[in-house]
Structure 1
Amino acid sequence: MMNCCGLLTVQKEPVPLKSIEVELEVRDHVATVVSTLNYQNKEDKPIEAVFVFPLPGDAAVCHFSAKMGQKEIVAEVKEKQEAREEYDDALSSGQQAFLLEESDQSPDIFSMSVGCLPPGESASIRLEYVTELAVQADEGLRFCLPAVLNPRYTPQGSEAPAVQVNSVPASLVPYSLSFSARVSSPRPISKVESSCSLDPLQFLNTDQTQATVKLGAGHKFDRDVEVLIYYKDAHQPTAVVEAGQASAKPGTLMGDPVVMVSLFPEFPQSVMSSVASCGEFVFLMDRSGSMDFNINSSRQQETRIGSARDTLLLLLKSLPMGCYFNIYSFGSRYEHIFPHSVEYSEKTMEEALKVVEKMKADLGGTEILEALQDIYKQPCIPKQPRQLFIFTDGEVDNTKQVLDLVKKNSGSHRCFSFGIGEGASSALINGLAREGGGHAQFITGSDRMQPKVMQSLRFALQPAVKDVSVTWDLPKGTSVMVVPPPITTIFQGQRTLLYGRLTGQSAEAAQGGVTVKYSLSGSPSQTQLLFDLKPKEDTGLTIHRLAARTLIQSLEMEDIDNLEKDDYEAKKKKVVELSVQSGVSSAFTAFVAVNRDSGEATHGPLVRRDIPVPMAMGMMSSMVLGCAAMDMDCVQEMLRSVGLDEIEVIPPKQPPRDPFLQLVSLQKASGCWLLDSALAAALGKTCEEVENSKPALINNEVWATVLALIWLHGFKSDAKEEWELLSMKAVLWLRAQKASYLSESVEAGKVLLGCSFQKDVLEL
């Protein structure tokens, strides 16, 4: 039932979906999203409208209903095959029916079927889900409403049906979108930003803890709606206790109170100020054809693969001496620079950079599984913890198989994942980090890839947290059952979430406490929080549904594919029971609603109408340019398929090399720079100017390195997160030289380059 989405508008078929209205409510770091989809059949025959669309991969879909006139039908969660049969039976008997189901291949793709909509009839579909908001590198909370569903690549030989996407340009999407958000938090809201145009933020109270915002007029469907919410003092730990559902049976997840604890562990400064000089760093780069697309429509000259090349340059320059590394790339096949990871040195770094500079998006499809299998076959290097960095636009169709492999190998590595461009699969990107004990980042809108990747490298260079344990301090008569999975990964300043089901009796005024203990660099550490046990008001069942979704995902990711049939059926039964009890979707269930009071049955064959989804504009222009490189007939055929008759194809101009990246490319693996004409050019000076300004008693490499550091601090201070690690290498190198007259060199360099800052900024 999940084998097609979209519509070729050249066929001129009517589209029954008229508008989508989205209301977002954010409470602290939890979002509730209500989408209303308005359908109308203007044809003279009954139709079945099928809409395949993306949702956040970690979303807990908890409500699906349909309204015709004054009558509302609320869907029930049922076992998936049972729901499909009920839907098909209703259509066969001429009854109106509605079906919502998760893709069998990826939990971030859903199919909505509106069946047996009679001529002239309208239907309003309400879809609701809840999700946790991820903390970004700049401490903003990220919400993304996916509008773009990229084609998902199905590996060769796969038995799973492909989710094929026939997208249309934004200008041809026949339905409108309205979006509004309400934000509330215990802490003041400092700002709300978006990749899309927003109306001004409207505060609802004087302490600025509540605000509303709306999508600006004229929004185009060429991008996802990404909203970043910033709170003051965002890293405050919190705990919310939510009362159980009155109608649910006590002793169950939905019947008992549930607590959600949000912690932000802080590591000692002594640990954070040091950089690990060991580790095996494996970089896995997507080189499928879609990586040739633009990152976004505002930076037409910057492709995903081009930005990835620049990012690999920064990563290679920032690695510590003494570590090991390798670079893999994948498409329909995979390649690696070295047969196995090699020690990081000037020779191996330069060898890798020569390959990176020539990397193109020329490896075909998106088959990540075989590349991962080869990486995991390589034996781990003693005392060099493996850190895996995966870069992809996330367009794979075997998401669950990939995540299962990462989970099986989670004990041997940490996995950091990066979703590049609009439409990257949140289920894949978040899942890779979750199952691999790492951290996920998304590069969309006007984001630069480099600062987000460098933050993850800093996480990777942090010592791994070991021996994590959680203890609860609760009043007598009250106990807690922690919702799986257990905490295994903790990063400095990043949120750690815990869900627990509270059982027993306690006084409403009582307090509880939770302590997370762990070992860091061989020393014991802990994070604590006290909280009130009295349930918060007006939370609905949001916390329960998020806890249910967390438990469902944990059960789904258990190795069910390799279980015996009886064990598999028992596991599936457990997921179905939890999904039905909580009203939260899963891979084994679906929402189904049948209008049994629709009066006279509808007769005659149904006409299927597939609802189109928008194509990212950067993707469309890249498709045109890619075809243009091969054959002009290909261009015209592609344009006809999306309803455009002609367009002028202009190859992009190659932008000049960024002076920052030019300077970075000249740094040696040890951390120093050489004094030569290339460095002078990167600094914007002549060789004579650089030579004549050098203090007499300073050697060339020290002078060159001091100048590079001054330039970075003086001209790229706003991008410090990108060069901080390679700067630390340079400072360590300078200290090792025990050079005299460094202060004089810094002052001379500042005069030469025209910079002004305190000399102790360089930490020399």
Structure 2
Amino acid sequence: MVNCGLVTNKNEPVPLKSIEVNLQTEGHVATVSSTLQYVNEEQGPVEALFVFPMPAEAAVCHFSAKIADQEVVAEVQEKEKARQLYDDALSSGEQAFLLEESEESTDVFRLSVGSLPPGQSAAVTFVYVTELSVQADHSLRFCLPAVLNPRYSPPGTSGGIVSEITPGSAQIPYSLSLTMNLSSPNPITAVKSQCPLEPLEFLNTDHTRAKVNLCAGHKFDRDVELFLYYQNPHQPTAVVEAGVPTAQPGSLMGDPVVMLSLYPEFPEAVVSEVSSCGEFVFVVDRSGSMSCPMRNGPNTEERITSARNTLLLLLKSLPMGCYFNIYGFGSRYESFFPKSVEYSQETMDQAVQRVKQMQADMGGTEILQPLKHIYSQPCIPNHPRQVFIFTDGEVGNTKEVLQLVGSNAESHRCFSFGIGEGASTALITGMAQEGSGHAQFITGTDRMQSKVMQSLRFALQPAVMDISEVWSVPEGMSVSLLSPPVKVLFSGQRALIYAQLKGEACKSSDCKGTITLQYRLADQHVTNTLSFSIKPAENTGLTIHRLAARSRIRSLEKEQQAEGGGKEELRARVVELSVQAGVSSSHTAFVAIHKGSGEAVKGPLLKRNVPVPMMCMAMACGAPRLMCMPVLRGGGDVALAADYIEFSSDDSTDDIDDPSDPLLQLISLQEASGCWEMESTLAQVFGKSMDEVAKQMPAEVEPGIWATVLALIWLHGFKMDAHDEWQFIAMKAASWIRSRKVVKLSECVLAANTVLQCQVKEEALGF
């Protein structure tokens, strides 16, 4: 095997020495500073290349490099100008650094390190700002990506930096230290992580400031996820940040900027309703990398296995009368049905049998073609289209995919799921944003089923229509919106809005502004109003200004892309705003030049990749069917020349019904209508024999009624910790029971509690 990364003449990797991360959170946003230390142990100078992942919603705002005792700080320049300065510096024998966003995906950055002399060490520091995403348990999530999977580029396309990435060693040869300082308007209650943390240290008596460290010795072989818990997490908040005194008045950096965190309150009557209409299209990645484990460690479920089990749950949870179809894709795609079919016992059984046979056997990751086919199908009247996309997110044509989803936003809602570590945040988050849906990331010990069912709840909610924002500020001031208009709202989900406050700012703490969010939901007109103080908060830095600039830059870039890359004035506005705010964009780059000896470099520089923790999919999966070759084409899916090596299926297919998981067994036995039949397999789920269950059945009660009541009692009595996963299954069952008009229902519930040794009350069952 050929080693990749920064290597010696003997093909031995030269590792990074250390990574130090400092994280500062302010409520819903964070500033992250990372310092990378490495050394050139080659006999001659090298030009090193370091590729690293970053959250798609982040914006780089600082880059500096320290060589020996001298530090150089980069400036944001128009991209071509920055590249020219970099090239000129190298040819003059000067040290140079170039940091730029990948042209293929906004969540990948490339750091080019110019002529680094032999034996010389360098410390590179970059700072970025990012929003923290809201989770189902109301926590805020921060993720430090460790894994950057190779991204698949379809045949005939030119692979850029994303698809140049080659797999690295499973051994991570450098240390990671991480310190997190928290600040919040509401008291901090906890910080949790699957990585070991030192105890949370509160820095004041009201617990609005705290500090926590990652335990020493952590191996950076997986994403570091931190979950922040605040009191009253859904309370709307507003933060006004002062501008830079030396900046030009009227410019974004010179004026105050407000960030509003809104949680729209949906009427309970609407939220409790579940639509029985809809066309549900499930699009499942079946590329070779889906045979990889969900996470590092022994006895870990494969991604494709988790996807199969999740599809089973979704199929059982769909409402009668809706329509559905399932697509599998890799370097080709196939659908279960020529077009979406009505949900019935027959079509559900057909789909379940095919789901059981799904394997990660379809080569590369080409998501564009199946999406084009789905969008070409006519929509079904009165059945809104909901597209669920499951992928490990390793594609090289992210921007093209997002443009396609966005151009079809009027005909569907898109719910996207990034499976396993290393999924592209730009792809997963971008598809949901463009398709007015919701994005989820399934990593670590997360169960895919619970996160997918949260999105199904959103999909079954009526769409919010006619959303408008109305601002009110003191006389002499005006508001310039920096965020794109809010176009999607779900119950319990947050909307972050940025706006520039222009004009003469009111100095009094009594000066107030308001924003009123109005929308129509299921024929009801809803109004939510938030009042906020105009007076800027103290010591907030420039995080909000930079995130606001990033939001505006992304909107301008999207507008330019929709114009086919034209509109030079849009490009000029992006460059101007990027340079002014000092944040990254697709049209700018950070460049730093260190004045060295002034002697021109003789001969070509050795170009080496600085190692980062990337997974070699075949080796990480332990797949004996495939050798890890030095020739790769992204996506974790190996190719020789233009031919794809597909993972071959075993002769036997594992049953989707995991015998070690009684919940999945119970779900697999449910009929499409919502009922269960009385059979020995169901009795085994309850830990009973068929005779034990049958002899306790009340007289004059049908076996199907008895079986369904037993199943509901068992779910409520033993599986409440997984309520999010089975809630729709239970709702279907309760609806079926109601339709049967059972005479002795209370007696039946009492007998079922006796059999299962539970104490579930009848009113809890939804009858």
Q: TM-score range by the shorter chain?
A: over 0.9
Question: Does the residue aligned with 1:711 lie in a helix, a strand or coil?
Answer: helix
**Paired letter, 1:167:** P
Cα distance between partner residues in 1 of 2:685 and 2:10: 54
User: Does 1:731 pair with 2:730?
Assistant: no
Q: 1:503 to 1:391 in 2, by over 3 A?
A: same
Deviates most, 74-83 or 128-137:
74-83
1:647 — aligned with what?
none
Question: Does the residue aligned with 2:583 lie in a helix, a strand or coil?
Answer: coil
Q: 1:592 to 1:629 in 2, by over 3 A?
A: closer
**Paired letter, 1:454:** M
2:462 — aligned with what?
463
Cα distance between partner residues in 1 of 2:224 and 2:8: 24
Deviates most, 386-395 or 40-49:
40-49
1:47 — aligned with what?
46
How far is 1:53 from its partner? 1.1
1:648 — aligned with what?
none
Equivalent residue for 1:662, pick from 646, 660, 665? 665
Alignment of 1:116-155 (within 5 A): 116-155=115-154
TM-score, normalised on structure 2? 0.93
**Paired letter, 2:166:** N
**Paired letter, 2:190:** K
Cα distance between partner residues in 2 of 1:521 and 1:593: 55
User: Does 1:315 pair with 2:314?
Assistant: yes
Deviates most, 553-562 or 52-61:
553-562
2:362 — aligned with what?
363
How far is 1:562 from its partner? 4.8
1:221 — aligned with what?
220
**Paired letter, 1:154:** S
Q: 1:452 to 1:9 in 2, by over 3 A?
A: farther
Question: Does the residue aligned with 1:615 lie in a helix, a strand or coil?
Answer: coil
Alignment of 1:513-662 (within 5 A): 513-558=514-559, 560=561, 562-563=563-564, 567-596=566-595, 598-601=596-599, 603-605=601-603, 606-616=605-615, 620-627=619-626, 656-662=659-665
RMSD of Structure 2 on Structure 1 (CA): 2.3
**Deviation above 4 Å: which 4+ runs of structure 1?**
7-11, 616-619, 651-655
User: Does 1:693 pair with 2:696?
Assistant: yes
Q: How many residues align?
A: 739
Cα distance between partner residues in 2 of 1:751 and 1:14: 65
1:89 — aligned with what?
88
* CA contact 1:301–1:653 (8 Å) conserved in 2: no
1:334 — aligned with what?
333
How far is 1:364 from its partner? 0.6
Deviations 1:171-220 (A, max 9, x none): 2x333221111112122222211122222222222322222111223322
User: Does 1:749 pair with 2:720?
Assistant: no
* CA contact 1:472–1:514 (8 Å) conserved in 2: yes
Deviates most, 82-91 or 291-300:
291-300
How far is 1:553 from its partner? 1.3
* CA contact 2:385–2:411 (8 Å) conserved in 1: yes
Deviates most, 486-495 or 7-16:
7-16
2:248 — aligned with what?
249
Cα distance between partner residues in 1 of 2:376 and 2:549: 35
1:302 — aligned with what?
301
Cα distance between partner residues in 2 of 1:70 and 1:490: 51
Cα distance between partner residues in 1 of 2:164 and 2:43: 29
TM-score, normalised on structure 1? 0.93
How far is 1:607 from its partner? 2.6
2:165 — aligned with what?
165
Cα distance between partner residues in 2 of 1:652 and 1:380: 34
Q: 1:397 to 1:623 in 2, by over 3 A?
A: farther
Cα distance between partner residues in 1 of 2:266 and 2:420: 32
1:634 — aligned with what?
none
Q: 1:62 to 1:335 in 2, by over 3 A?
A: same
* CA contact 1:476–1:506 (8 Å) conserved in 2: no
Structure 2 unaligned regions, length at least 5: 630-636, 638-651
2:109 — aligned with what?
110
Question: Does the residue aligned with 1:476 lie in a helix, a strand or coil?
Answer: coil
Cα distance between partner residues in 2 of 1:248 and 1:276: 52
Question: Does the residue aligned with 1:45 lie in a helix, a strand or coil?
Answer: coil
How far is 1:623 from its partner? 4.4
Question: Does the residue aligned with 2:65 lie in a helix, a strand or coil?
Answer: strand
How far is 1:11 from its partner? 4.9
Deviations 1:556-594 (A, max 9, x none): 22262653x7x4333222222221111111111110011
User: Does 1:702 pair with 2:705?
Assistant: yes
Q: 1:113 to 1:469 in 2, by over 3 A?
A: same
Question: Does the residue aligned with 1:417 lie in a helix, a strand or coil?
Answer: strand
Cα distance between partner residues in 2 of 1:626 and 1:737: 53
Alignment of 1:138-287 (within 5 A): 138-161=137-160, 163-171=163-171, 173-287=172-286
Q: Percent identity?
A: 58
* CA contact 2:464–2:519 (8 Å) conserved in 1: yes
Question: Does the residue aligned with 1:219 lie in a helix, a strand or coil?
Answer: coil
How far is 1:653 from its partner? 10
Q: 1:402 to 1:6 in 2, by over 3 A?
A: farther
* CA contact 1:5–1:164 (8 Å) conserved in 2: no
Cα distance between partner residues in 1 of 2:206 and 2:298: 38
1:642 — aligned with what?
none
How far is 1:682 from its partner? 2.3
Deviations 1:248-280 (A, max 9, x none): 222222222111110011211111111111111
* CA contact 1:297–1:618 (8 Å) conserved in 2: no
Structure 1 unaligned regions, length at least 5: 631-637, 639-650
Equivalent residue for 1:683, pick from 686, 694, 707? 686
How far is 1:555 from its partner? 1.8
Deviations 1:6-61 (A, max 9, x none): 45799534526321111111111111100011233344422222111111111110
* CA contact 1:187–1:232 (8 Å) conserved in 2: yes
Cα distance between partner residues in 2 of 1:88 and 1:129: 25
Deviations 1:40-90 (A, max 9, x none): 334442222211111111111010112234432211111212211111110
Cα distance between partner residues in 2 of 1:64 and 1:327: 45
Alignment of 1:438-453 (within 5 A): 438-453=437-452
How far is 1:608 from its partner? 2.5
Question: Does the residue aligned with 1:276 lie in a helix, a strand or coil?
Answer: coil
Deviates most, 500-509 or 352-361:
500-509
How far is 1:657 from its partner? 4.3
Q: 1:617 to 1:705 in 2, by over 3 A?
A: farther
Cα distance between partner residues in 2 of 1:62 and 1:508: 29
Q: 1:745 to 1:344 in 2, by over 3 A?
A: same
